[in-house]
Amino acid sequence: MSGIETDVQVTPSLRAGGTVINDFSIEVATVNGSGSQTANTVLLRTIFQMGVPVSGKNLFPSNISGLPTWFTIRVSKHGYIGRKKDADVLVAMNPETAPEDVDKMRAGTLVVYDEPLNLRSRRSDLIFYPVPFDKLVAPVCSKPKLRPLVRNMIYVGVLAYLLNLDMAQAKVALNKQLGKKAAVLDMNAAALQVGYDFASEHFTKQDRYLVAPMNENQGKIIIDGNAAAALGCMFAGVTVVAWYPITPSSSLCESLIMYMKKYRMDKRTGKATFAIIQAEDELASLGIVLGAGWAGARAMTSTSGPGISLMSEFAGLGYYAEVPGVIFDIQRVGPSTGLPTRTMQGDLLQTAYLSHGDTKHILLFPGSVEECYTMAIEAFDLAEEFQTPVFVMSDLDLGMNNWMSDPFPYPEQPPKRGKVLTEQDLQRIGRFERYRDVDGDGIPYRTIPGSSMPAYFCRGSGHNERALYSERPDDYKRNMDRIARKFETARHRVPAPELVRDGADDVGIIAFGSSHFPTIESVDQLRTEADINASYLRIRAFPFSSEVESFVRRHDRIYVVDQNRDGQMRDLLRLELAPELAPKLRSVRHYDGLPIDARTITDQILAQEGITS
C-alpha cells in the first residue's frame, strides 16, 4: 500500500461559486453485500435528524453479493426529494467501478475514495480525499472477517467531518440502526470516530459542500413505499393475503407479515385474525385472493410485471364474475425478466386492460409513501364497492426507497363493504338477482357464502342477471353494458386528480406515481430557467375523472411524463379521452431503469418548446 496522500492539491477554480449548503447529492459506490446499507442509512438519518430534507435511493444489482451497488442521497433545503441527475459528492469504495464512477462526475465533485485505488491521477478537476480504509479499520475491529463490514462506517465519519455533520446525531442514528446489537454497535461507533478523526487530522476542506442544521423535518418519518402500503393494508382490515416473492414487491408482504404478527393477533386466544399465504405462483396468488373475496374477505396480493402477466386470466375472471380483490403492482423494468432491480412505469397498458375480451380495471397511482398507505386503504374500499379487482400501481423507486413523509393519518371511516345484501335491502328491492342493476349505477348486490342470504352460482362463463349460465346474445350484452356502467360510476368515485400547480393556459404537464416529486421540481425549473408558467396535474386513478379531460382541454400543449419507452400514459389518455384532444398530447419519456429526475423532464420540455438552454 502506498503512503497516505494528504497533500491535497486543489486549483482555486474548483471552489468557484462559493459554498453550497444543503443542496447537493451524495453517491456511495460499494460492492453489493458489503454491509454498506447500514452505513448509508446512518448517513441519511444523520442529515435527516439535522432537520434537512433528504431522500435516499438504492441502486442495486439483481444479485446477492459481489456486484456493484450505488446509494444516492439527495440533500435539498428546498425539499425536493426526487432524484438528482448528477452527484456532487462521491464515495468510491468499489474497485470495479471506481474509475468509471470518477470519470462520469462533473468538475468540482468531492470524492472520498479508498486510497489504494489511486483515483486522483484520473482527473485534475475533482477534489479528492483518499482514505486508507484497511489501515484504519484494523485497530477498530479485531476480527478480520468482520472488517469488510465495519470499514464502511469509516466513510460516514469522513463525510461527517467534510460536510460538517453533527457527530452526536450520527451516533443517535447509529444507535437506531444497531442499538440491539451491543458489540456490533461499539465497533461501528469506533469506526465512525476513526473516520472523523482521520479526516480532521489529514484533510483541509477544499470542496463547496456543507450541511447546516435546519428545522424542516419536525415530526416527519422516513419509510419506504412498500412498508407504507403494508401499513395501509393492515389498517384497511385485510384478512387474507396471498403472495409469491418477486423483486421489488416482496418487501411489501414481508413488512405486512411483521406488522400483522405484532398488531393483529387476537388478544383473547393468541390466534391470528388474518392468513398470509406464500402461494405456489402468481396464478394461485390471485386465485386465492378471488376465492377469499368471493367468500367475503378483504384480500390482497402484491407482485410485479411478470406476476401481473401471469394473473391475466384470473384478472378477467375477477372483472367478469365481479369479485373484489386488491393487487399491488410494484413495477420494475420489463419486458420479460428485464432489469429486475431497476424501476419503470411499464405495466400501465397491460394492467389497465389486463385479460382477454373487453376488460378494464380500476388503477390507483400513489405518488408518495403517504399515498401508498392511504391508497391501500382506498383500494380495499373501491374493490368491495365496485366488486372488482383494483390495482395499486407503485414502482421500485417508490416501493423500495426511503422517503420522508408526514406521519400517516389514522383511518377515520369504517371499511366500506359495498353492496353486501342485507334483510332491509332485500325488502326494498324485492328479490335478489346477483347481476341485476337495481340502483342504476351498474353495481349489483352480492351475497356471501355462510350468510343466511340467498346463494348464487359465480362463474366466468356467460351468465344472466340471475347468475345462471347463458349464451343468449341479449344476456351477454346487458351484462357487459352494465359492467361498463359500473366503470363509469367508478370514474366519479376514484381519487380525483390533484392540480398541483395552476399555471397559464399554454403548457400543461401531466404526471403520475413516482414521477411526482421530480415533476414538481421541473415545474419550478421551467419557471426560473425559461419563464414557462406551466400547470401540473397529477393523475391519481384510472378511469380518468372528468377533471383530466378538462385540464387537457384548457391547455394548448400537454406534456405527459412517463417512465417507459412508449409513453404508455400518453397512449392511455389518447385511448380514453375525446379523440380531438389527442394531438395536444406530447410525451416526456425516461426509461433507463433509473428513477426519473427533474432535469430530464425540464430538458425534454424545453426542447419540444423550441427553447435550447
Partner 1 sequence: MSTMTTTSSPRKLNRIGLDIAIYKGGKTTLCAGCGHNAISERIIDAFFEMGVDPRRVIKLSGIGCSSKTPAYFLGSSFSFNGVHGRMPALATGALLANRQMIAIGVSGDGDTASIGIGHFVHLMRRNLPMIYIIEDNGCYGLTKGQFSATADIGSTLKNGVVNDLPPIDTCALAIELGATFVGRSFSGDKKQLLALLKAAISHRGTVMLDVISPCVTFNDHDGSTKSYSYVKDHDEPLSDVSFIPHFEDMTIDYEPGTSREIQLHDGSKLVLSKLSEQYDPTDKLAALQVLHEAQKRGELVTGLIYYEPGRKDFLELINLVDEPLATLPLDMVRPPREALDEIMESLK
Angle at 551 between CA 600 and CA 521, to 5 degrees: 30
What is d(CA 430, CA 537) in angstroms, rounded to the nearest whole number? Answer: 45
> Phi-psi bin for 593: left (phi > 0), alpha (psi -120 to 50), beta?
left
| Contact call for residue 296 and partner 1 (CB under 8 A) | yes
Interacting stretch for partner 1, rule CB under 8 A, among 131-139, 198-206, 288-296, 329-337?
Answer: 288-296
- Taken in order 15, 18, 19, 23, the sign of the CA dihedral is negative
What is d(CA 180, CA 169) in angstroms, rounded to the nearest whole number? Answer: 18
Least distance from C-beta 541 to partner 1, angstroms?
Answer: 24
The secondary structure of residue 477, as a DSSP letter, is H
Choose which of 146, 221, 438, 581 interacts with partner 1 (CB under 8 A).
221
Q: Of the two residues 356 and 477, which places its CB atom closer to partner 1 in the complex?
A: 356
Positions 572 through 591 that interact with partner 1 (CB under 8 A): none
Positions 474 through 513 that interact with partner 1 (CB under 8 A): none
| Contact call for residue 223 and partner 1 (CB under 8 A) | yes
Interacting stretch for partner 1, rule CB under 8 A, among 149-157, 198-206, 281-289, 541-549?
Answer: 281-289
Interacting stretch for partner 1, rule CB under 8 A, among 81-89, 107-115, 283-291, 519-527?
Answer: 283-291
Choose which of 237, 245, 442, 593 interacts with partner 1 (CB under 8 A).
237
Q: Of the two residues 127 and 234, which places its CB atom closer to partner 1 in the complex?
A: 234
Choose which of 240, 253, 308, 354 interacts with partner 1 (CB under 8 A).
240
- The answer for residues whose C-beta is within 8 angstroms of residue 215's C-beta and 6 or more apart is 51
| Contact call for residue 338 and partner 1 (CB under 8 A) | no
Choose which of 16, 138, 295, 607 interacts with partner 1 (CB under 8 A).
295
Interacting stretch for partner 1, rule CB under 8 A, among 99-107, 275-283, 340-348, 483-491?
Answer: 275-283
Choose which of 122, 135, 147, 220 interacts with partner 1 (CB under 8 A).
220
Positions 56 through 85 that interact with partner 1 (CB under 8 A): none
| Contact call for residue 418 and partner 1 (CB under 8 A) | no
Are 507 and 555 spatial neighbours (Cβ–Cβ below 8 Å)? yes
| Contact call for residue 450 and partner 1 (CB under 8 A) | yes
| Contact call for residue 523 and partner 1 (CB under 8 A) | no
What is d(CA 374, CA 372) in angstroms, rounded to the nearest whole number? Answer: 6
| Contact call for residue 434 and partner 1 (CB under 8 A) | no
Choose which of 125, 471, 502, 505 interacts with partner 1 (CB under 8 A).
471
Least distance from C-beta 314 to partner 1, angstroms?
Answer: 6
Least distance from C-beta 176 to partner 1, angstroms?
Answer: 9
b/e map 436-459, b = 16+ CB within 10 Å: bbbeebbbbbbbeeeeebeebebe
- Looking up cell 399554454 gives 506
| Contact call for residue 375 and partner 1 (CB under 8 A) | no
Q: Of the two residues 295 and 575, which places its CB atom closer to partner 1 in the complex?
A: 295
| Contact call for residue 253 and partner 1 (CB under 8 A) | no
| Contact call for residue 456 and partner 1 (CB under 8 A) | yes
Choose which of 56, 293, 513, 595 interacts with partner 1 (CB under 8 A).
293
Choose which of 139, 414, 579, 583 interacts with partner 1 (CB under 8 A).
414
Q: Of the two residues 83 and 463, which places its CB atom closer to partner 1 in the complex?
A: 463
What is d(CA 486, CA 301) in angstroms, rounded to the nearest whole number? Answer: 23
Burial class (CB in 10 A: 0-12, 13-18, 19+), 425: middle
Interacting stretch for partner 1, rule CB under 8 A, among 20-28, 52-60, 144-152, 312-320?
Answer: 312-320
Q: Of the two residues 79 and 415, which places its CB atom closer to partner 1 in the complex?
A: 415
Are 213 and 52 spatial neighbours (Cβ–Cβ below 8 Å)? yes
What is d(CA 67, CA 60) in angstroms, rounded to the nearest whole number? Answer: 8
Residue ranges of E strands in 14-153: 20-21, 23-31, 54-59, 68-76, 89-92, 110-114, 127-131
Choose which of 127, 173, 199, 317 interacts with partner 1 (CB under 8 A).
317
| Contact call for residue 415 and partner 1 (CB under 8 A) | yes
Q: Where are the alpha helices (DSSP H) in 180-322?
A: 182-202, 225-236, 250-263, 282-294, 305-310, 312-321
| Contact call for residue 422 and partner 1 (CB under 8 A) | no
b/e map 46-71, b = 16+ CB within 10 Å: bbbbbbbbbbbbbbbbeeeeebbbbb
Q: Are strands 362-364 and 240-243 parallel, antiparallel or unpaired?
A: unpaired
Are 94 and 36 spatial neighbours (Cβ–Cβ below 8 Å)? no
Least distance from C-beta 449 to partner 1, angstroms?
Answer: 4
Count the Cβ atoms, other than its own, within 10 Å of residue 20.
Answer: 15
| Contact call for residue 261 and partner 1 (CB under 8 A) | no
Q: Of the two residues 176 and 492, which places its CB atom closer to partner 1 in the complex?
A: 176
Strand partners, 325: 389
Query: What nine digits make up the cell of 59?
Result: 441502486
Least distance from C-beta 225 to partner 1, angstroms?
Answer: 13
Interacting stretch for partner 1, rule CB under 8 A, among 219-227, 484-492, 500-508, 570-578?
Answer: 219-227
Q: From the centroid of its chain, how far is CA 11?
A: 41
Choose which of 314, 432, 536, 551 interacts with partner 1 (CB under 8 A).
314
| Contact call for residue 290 and partner 1 (CB under 8 A) | yes
| Contact call for residue 273 and partner 1 (CB under 8 A) | yes
Burial class (CB in 10 A: 0-12, 13-18, 19+), 474: exposed
Least distance from C-beta 380 to partner 1, angstroms?
Answer: 11
Query: What nine digits make up the cell of 357?
Result: 375480451
| Contact call for residue 280 and partner 1 (CB under 8 A) | yes
Q: Euclidean distance between the first and final Cα of the chain, in Å? A: 46
Residues that bind partner 1 in the complex, under the rule CB under 8 A: 219-223, 231, 234-240, 242, 259, 263-264, 266, 269, 271-275, 277, 279-281, 283-299, 313-314, 317, 321, 407-408, 410-411, 414-415, 447-452, 455-461, 469, 471
